[in-house]
Amino acid sequence: MTSFCVPERLIMRPAQCRYCPAEHDHDIEVGDREGIRTCALHKPDAERDCNAHLHKTSLVRLRDARTALAIFFDALPETFSVIRTSGEIDPGWKVPFDIYELQFVSKIRDVDWGIPVIKGTGETATTKSVRLTDFLKPALQIPGLSADIIRQSLAILDAGVYKADVEAQDRIGIMAPTESDNPNMQIMQLPTGELVRAFVPPTTFSVSFSAFDDSDGALPPL
């Protein structure tokens, strides 16, 4: 049966694919040293599962958003103004497409979608997240970036840039691999979507469950 994984901390993890015993050759990341370690064969599975995780946590990699929201980013000039916390209109900000580290379009306070922006370079650089709806304010309006473009972009984000990966994961089924040394301990997903640790005896179909919180990708000790 095809299985899925949830991202985990990659520090001090074995150099082995999460989906099979093969040696890993790639890490698909969802954050700072967090993701899924995979071999070349299972790289598409790791990408699917990491994307599904990002969808569930209301995050979109900036590089993926650049494609999905091309209509928005193409309308932004190289530098633009933002509203600081003090209310000051501050020019000279840009979207950090050229930064190597992972950057995310994300929900601000679980309500408004925001894009990462940066001003300056090196250790003196300042970063923040700016709501897409801020560009509707008269002080920040940009020629060519219409209200319709902003509404379309928000609709794309609300629908889910990674929605197809979530649907693909849902079609897989309920069995997920476990890091346990006990081959009879597995992670299963209930019809409600809750992930549980399940003990599956080798000679019977009965199982016992214990719920756990997988919000940080870590599994509880056995």
Question: What mean pLDDT is predicted for residues 209-221?
Answer: 46
d(CA 92, CA 109): 25
Question: What phi-psi label fits residue 19: left (phi over 0), alpha (psi between -120 and 50 degrees) or beta?
Answer: alpha
Give yes or no for a contact between 54 and 166, defined as CB atoms under 8 angstroms apart.
Answer: no
Q: Does residue 176 have a pLDDT over 90?
A: no
First to last CA, the chain: 24
Question: Which amino acid would we find at residue 216?
Answer: D
The secondary structure element, H or E, covering residue 87 is none
Map residue 185 onto helix, strand or coil: strand
At 73 the pLDDT is 97
**pTM (2 decimals)?**
0.74
Instruction: Name which of 7-16, 121-130, 159-168, 213-222 the model is least confident about.
Output: 213-222
Of the pLDDT bands very low, low, confident and very high (cuts 50, 70, 90), residue 19 is confident
CA distance 38 to 7: 11
